[in-house]
Chain A
Amino acid sequence: MTAYAELQVTSNYSFLRGASHAHELALQAAVLGHKAIAITDRNTLAGAARMHVACKQHDIQLIVGARLDLRDGPSFLCFPTDRAAYGRLSQLLTLGKRRAEKGDCELFLDDILEGEIFAAGAGQVLVLIPPETLDSTFRETIFVIRNKIKNNIYLSVNYIYFGDDNPRISAISELAEETSLPLVATNDAHAHIAGRRILQDVLTCIREHCTIHEAGFRLYANGERHLKPGDEMARLFSAYPEAIENTVRIAEKCRFNLEELRYEYPVDPVPDGRTPQDELTRLSWEGAEIRYPDGVPEKVKGQIDYELKLIDELGYAPYFLTIHDIVRFARSREILCQGRGSAANSSVCYMLGITEVNPAEIDLLFERFVSTERDEPPDIDVDFEHERREEVIQYIYEKYGRHRAGLTATHITYRSKSAFREIGKVMGLTEDSIQALSSSVAWGKPTKDRRDPERIREVGLDPDDPTLQMVFELSEQIAGFPRHLSQHTGGFVITSSPLDTVVPIENAAMEDRTVIEWDKNDLDALGILKVDILALGMLTCVRKAFEFIEKHHGRKLTLANIPQGDEQTYDMLCEGDSVGVFQVESRAQMNMLPRLRPRTFYDLVIEVAIVRPGPIQGDMVHPYLRRRDGKEEVEYPKEELRAVLEKTMGVPLFQEQAMKIAIVAAGFTPSEADGLRRAMATFRRNGTLPLYRERFINGMIENGYTPDFSERCFKQIEGFSDYGFPESHAASFALLVYVSSWLKCHYPAAFAAALLNSQPMGFYKPAQIVRDARDHGVEVRPVDVNDSDWDCTLEMTLASPSTRWRSDEESRTAIRLGFRQIKGMREDAADAIVDARERGYAAVPDLKQRAGAQRGVLERLARADAFQSMGLDRRQALWAVKGLQDAPALSLFTDLPDHELRPEPAVALPEMHLGEQVADDYLALKMSLKAHPMELLRPCFDAEKQLRCEDLINVPVDSTVRLSGLVLIRQRPGSAKGVIFVTIEDETGVANLIVWPHRMDRYRRTVLGSHLLGVEGKLQREGIVTHVVADRLFDFSYRLGYLTSDEAPLPELMLGRNVPSHLPTMPNLRRMIPRSRDFQ
């Protein structure tokens, strides 16, 4: 067999050029018995890390490199021979990328020959790629290059069945002789096998924005650009054996391995010449004393010692110090932060104040975080307030410099739906059919369901159409291909040597941001440490609530000093009263709360983890609840699992438990279990999971477990692949659940105002937050030019009914809505109004004169009815605003106030009735404090004997009920097989509807299109949770038109009647009712 190494390899990281994944290329090269394989994507190293991993797995040498495409010269393949040369290549690419737009790279011949960075190719092996037409310019260019670069430069030749390959090769060979450059053979591989030609053609079309029928010569004439066996290459180049031999020579020279990048972590300055480890030890014990003022428990002491020892062994101390420093910075700026994820398994992190999970309360699994066995760096994720995370990021840039700190990339890949759109376009499907299919096909489902002929026929297409079939086929092939780099939400890499010598850096879409080319998985694989600076809206909300409480109640709260174990807080949660609370506010969580009845912190940990795809798909929820309620005995499938499952009553709920079962019950080694975890978490669905499945289930059955239990355990593991929830992570979240619940319970006004000021976040819209606050006895006051700030504020009020958990003192605060609630209002305009307010505005023109408010701004304010303190209702205010002169026409009059210019005849406008007010409130504020639309329409519904939401509680189970309400949320949970959940709201509360698939087929339009939905169905109740199982549904949206019409709402006969045609349809209906939150 002829020894050969393929040097010109384009992977799919040359976006829309390469048609194979790195792992496919590596595997194929190994199968063909190549000596080595290079990766030479165009002006990028983005795929290098993946290729490295794949080559290591298939045991073949990787030659790291890139293809340098120049703006003014020929292309080179560039292969660094050592770490320093690699650094220079990376810097060269960074230079080109920083010059260009995002995703592009601008390099010139001078950068290579003259530029200091590249040092004229020192340490690199360069391969010059001749252009398509060999002319004298190329010959001259070679001489120019030859003058600068003496060694290690080659000239490449291809044999790609062009017809003129032989004459061309001999021409190049003559050129090579003349310039004394050695020849090297390559096959310009764009794919690992010939079978990728079709995909390759389609990629070309996507790149060139044309259909396959228009593509013409933009496509290659044949599919010869793939990896070929050494013998075949030797046959093609039989006249030039040295061209083949040179590939091997180059492979021997380029021994640089990406593992050499393994990390020199930046060492923060440590006082008095102590080692980072000493410093870490000191800080840990100092922290421990603060955490445990009454003495550190023995168990914890042991844990700290153990962890410090391991950290020392692995040399991670500087990394911990870095994170500690970042957290310390945030604290000094009063930015709330909290570690999450596996870091919460470390007591050292707890002592350093990075995480808040007390090791005395929760059993930690430090090995999940750091282990000697798993050769990869620890991963510390820290959440910061979402509005202030930028400050932390800027601090990191400032401290380490942009040349040493950078954001990691996210490699955005084609998903089957996006792939379908693009390939459909290429294959000439009409925009219309593409749209129809992409909105009706179940993309998340397996292939079989996706091509469900019924669905395809439903949108009027022929499922057997070969073109359509091909589009589906190709979409599946292309799914998973990277399409561009984007920036990770907050993954930071910090290096001691300049970062651009480790990996190329490019401009991000956001101004002033740069992104490295590798993503999280790449960094993990290469053992490069990173820290995740994440944003969490709830932290912002909590901080704002703390500020309100300090300002109005003089109580200084922190995450650490909130009273623990508060009975009333748990009482509230047990009732499912959790609107706005972190994590447990979703409908499913709200239903779970009264069933789980949390009474301790650990209950909250379980609450957070249990409503997840893992436990639900594994069917673990009901057994757990039964055991908790004492309806079922706590038992263990086998005694050996007692230790694993004791805390959760014998039912596995957390990711770690599933792993432990794999080890204890299925006989996996810890590293195998970790492989399983990886298969389900990272490198999305690359198909390795089924391999583990058999082994897992057989292993368990062999060990004497029932097939049923084994099956369920594995199902659960599969569920975790959608969203894994380890115990430590759940515990970190549970802390915030408790804090936010406590705030909501005792300071509902401050909490609601803080929530409103932190929008957008969470599950609910401002209208529901306000409503919930009012339900808890909080007075909410309207936006007003004389009272509001941009943010919502608290005002003191004399008396307000003190509800169950509100203290008297707290109940003296009321919420004043801020200008931020007004649709389309700008913050600077609002600030100007606040700044110029002095003792208040007496008339509309004042605002224009003193605050310089534009007409548009004033109109928005008028529409939001924000002039009430002047005694103007919205119509009068709007009339006044409309009457303002746009700009003074003559300078003579500039000093005269607007309204003094000349008296205007008084105009009597029609009075606004309440319905109109409410409708306009909804239009401007997406809510109304005056009334609920349903309240005004109630006579209509009463006449039809419809119930109110609050009535449901008194209705016996299984009776048939009718009710109506505004649609708040439509959901189609993945775990619930086509069932739609709809939440509707009326003036008394909310009701939950369940629409089964067969009803959905019948009422699809009504369910999806209604703003005001009526339902007739059977009542179901589980604990205190009530559902209406929809039997018939009615679109009553037209009745909203009554709000603005002069007619009184007429009771019509509900069932089966058409919309009355005489009713003026409300033009703004769509805009009036805020879009429901659908299918998120």
Chain B
Amino acid sequence: MVTIITVHGGQRIASLNRAARQAGISAGQSLADARALYPALAVQQADPIADAKALNALARAAERYTPWVAIDPDGGLYRGGAGLWLDISGCAHLFGGEDALLDDLLTRCAHAGYQARAGLAGTPGAAWALARLETKETLAAILPPGIRASKRLSPLPLAGLRLEAGIVEGLERMGLRRIGEIYNLPRAPLVKRFGMEITRRLDQALGTQEESLSPRRPVPAYMTRRAFAEPIGRAEDIDAALVHLLDPLCDMLEKAGQGVRRLVFSLYRVDDTVARIVIGVSRPNRDPAHLHRLFREKLTEVDPGFGIEVAVLTAPLTNPLALKQPDISGQQSAKTKPVNELVDVLAGRLGPAAVNRLLPVASHLPERACRTAPVDSAPDKKQDWQKPVRQPPRPLQLLIQPLPIDVMAPVPDGPPVLFRWRRRQHKVSKAEGPERISPEWWHGDGRAPYTPPLSPDIRDYYRVEDDDGARFWVYREGLYRPDRLPAWYLHGFFA
């Protein structure tokens, strides 16, 4: 199995598993070449964002060893895989020494399903080279303090210096393949030809030049917390605590230009159990009153148990929300507010999936001309609100289920003269049509079936007005056939 990315319009292998490597496939190869080697290749689109997420999660997990974890900027596609830096200065003894730490780290990685290799050295550069190039057989390579980095790195390929592929290739052309081969070369000619990069990287690896790494930036947490002198239990107290926590949280959010999408109110009981209340809103929001109302719907469900010691309010999901200038009365613009708030209340009570809105669909078939979407779904960019240039009017009210009617009409495709609906006869005084609508043949694979009586047959629609001035939208199903009585349906009302 391989993952692919699209580079310059061509599909190339981004990463591959062991079986694929054994089949002779390599990273960077084009998909077509790989397929030629192994036609039954399983292919997935590479997802760099998900990869980055996974790496981030791994970095978070690695914080158990040291608070100082960074994501390797020099790893990644084609460069020996993604990597993490751990600065374990002063941490190793907590795990029983460097060996034990690496052992623990690699074991945990393996349990999590990752193939990992580790290098440990006095400089980031040397560790990088060891991890990627000295660990073919064993998974961990350690450079003990007594041994000089230059000795250990000497036989490794130049790629271990974190140089660009172009520079490595250029050096290889000069016959320089191993790190040790450039130790004693005169530096000026080397720099002149290959740039400062090479000496900088060499010095960093050997420790003659400092290298600073920047640790992963912590995610800003929007959280307020309150501990109580005495455990509380009354509903009013909990409510008051919530209000005390909401206001500062909303202030924090306003300063950060963020609005919450989800809020978690955690109540820590004296017996070490936690009660949680979660609310969600359809649009980013930081109005304490509104958020409070949403919580109140659920506060009654809380069982305080033996009392609550600590209350914490966190906002795990936030979206940017620009500062809005209030109008002169101090109110936020009120246009969409009531609707949004109503939506939140409804969603809170009925569940988010229960609140939908209608979106137009470009289809000639009336029953397919709209679809429902969750109310908080992002607007579809390609949403086409346009209608065709020429389309006769559509009824104000469309029946979900067309109703069968009896019709008298001239053959083959004349408009109805008389029709009977709900045991009443309607005499047609005016008619227009037919508008012939063909079925959407591409739904013929049974995935989006037509619900009866709607059928995958041509329909001829007529706009008719009866003697009373009522206007209907009726259709005949199928083309006229002398051997068959036509089926007629009422599908909507104009007025």
Contact = CB atoms under 8 A, between A and B. Distances in A.
Pair from one complex: yes
Interface of A: 132-133, 161-164, 166-167, 197-198, 201, 212-219, 221-224, 427, 431-432, 435-436, 439-440, 458-460, 465-467, 863, 875, 878-879, 882-883, 904-905, 907, 909-912, 916, 920, 1004-1005, 1008-1009, 1035, 1061, 1064, 1067
B38 interface: yes
A911 B186 CA distance: 17
Nearest to B193: A882
Contacts of B42: 460
Contacts of A212: 442
A221 B364 contact: yes
A221 B435 contact: yes
B145 interface: no
A905 B194 CA distance: 16
A1056 B38 CA distance: 19
Nearest to A218: B362
Contact of A1009 (B24, B32, B157): B24
B46 to A, nearest CB: 12
A132 B193 contact: no
A216 B361 contact: yes
B432 A164 contact: yes
Contacts of B432: 163-164, 166-167
B491 to A, nearest CB: 13
A905 B193 CA distance: 13
Given A162-B392, A907-B186, A1009-B24, A427 B362 contact: no
Nearest to A131: B389
Nearest to A428: B442
A117 B175 CA distance: 71
B67 interface: no
Contacts of B4: 432
B24 A217 contact: no
A427 B442 contact: yes
Nearest to A216: B362
A464 to B, nearest CB: 11
Contacts of B361: 216
Contacts of B24: 1005, 1009, 1035
Contact of B175 (A218, A224, A910): A910
Contacts of A909: 174-176
Interface string B42-57: 1101000000000000
Given A222-B436, A910-B181, A439 B442 contact: no
A439 B37 CA distance: 12
Which secondary structure characterizes the binding site on chain A?
Answer: helix
Interface extent on B, as a size class?
35 or more
B111 interface: no
A467 B458 CA distance: 21
Contacts of A201: 441-442
Given A161-B434, A458-B40, A905-B186, A439 B463 contact: no
Nearest to B44: A432
Contacts of B461: 163
A907 B364 contact: no
B6 to A, nearest CB: 9
A219 B364 contact: yes
B363 interface: yes
Given A217-B388, A1005-B23, A197 B175 contact: no
A735 B442 CA distance: 58
Contacts of A878: 173-174
B301 interface: no
A440 B189 contact: no
B335 interface: no
A163 B174 contact: no
A440 B39 contact: yes
A132 B460 CA distance: 21
B37 A162 contact: no
A435 B392 contact: no
Interface string B167-180: 00110011110000
B175 A1067 contact: no
B386 interface: yes
B175 A221 contact: no
Nearest to A161: B436
A633 to B, nearest CB: 49
Given A162-B391, A164-B390, 7 more contacts: A161-B460, A214-B382, A222-B437, A460-B40, A875-B174, A882-B170, A907-B186
A466 B444 contact: yes
Contact of A875 (B175, B384, B387): B175
Contacts of A216: 361-363, 384
Interface in B130-189: 136, 157, 169-170, 173-176, 181, 185-186, 188-189
Contact of A911 (B45, B175, B176, B390): B175
B445 interface: yes
6 contacts: A163-B433, A198-B441, A216-B361, A217-B388, A436-B35, A436-B39
A459 B39 contact: yes
B11 interface: yes
B392 A163 contact: yes
Given A460-B42, A909-B174, A1009 B37 contact: yes
Contact of A224 (B32, B39, B436): B436
A1009 B382 CA distance: 43
A912 B175 CA distance: 7
A214 to B, nearest CB: 7
A916 to B, nearest CB: 7
Interface in B429-482: 432-438, 441-442, 444-446, 458, 460-461, 463
Nearest to B34: A1009
Given A440-B39, A460-B42, A162 B442 contact: no
A920 B39 CA distance: 32
Interface string B403-443: 00000000000000000000000000000111111100110
A133 B390 contact: yes
B43 A907 contact: no
Contacts of A1061: 136
Interface string B226-248: 00000000000000000000000
B226 to A, nearest CB: 53
A904 B190 CA distance: 11
A161 B173 contact: no
Nearest to A459: B39
A488 to B, nearest CB: 29
Contacts of A905: 186, 188-189
Contacts of A883: 189, 192-193
B31 interface: yes
Contacts of B384: 216-217
Contact of A217 (B23, B32, B45, B387): B387
Interface string B334-372: 000000000000000000000000000111100000000
A878 B11 CA distance: 34
B441 A904 contact: no
Residue of B361, B388, B435, B438 ringed by the most chain A CB atoms within 10 A: B438
A884 to B, nearest CB: 9
B485 interface: no
A164 B392 contact: yes
8 cross-chain pairs, A with B, having the tightest CB-CB distances, nearest first = A216-B362, A163-B435, A161-B436, A910-B175, A163-B392, A882-B193, A905-B186, A221-B364
A910 B176 contact: yes
B458 A879 contact: no
B7 interface: no
B36 interface: yes
B438 A222 contact: yes
B387 A221 contact: no
A1064 B390 CA distance: 68
Q: Which of B33, B39, B157 has the most CB of A within 10 A?
A: B39
Pick from B157, B362, B436, B442 the residue with the most CB of A within 10 Å.
B442
B397 to A, nearest CB: 18
A436 B189 CA distance: 50
A435 B173 contact: no
Interface string B75-86: 000000000000
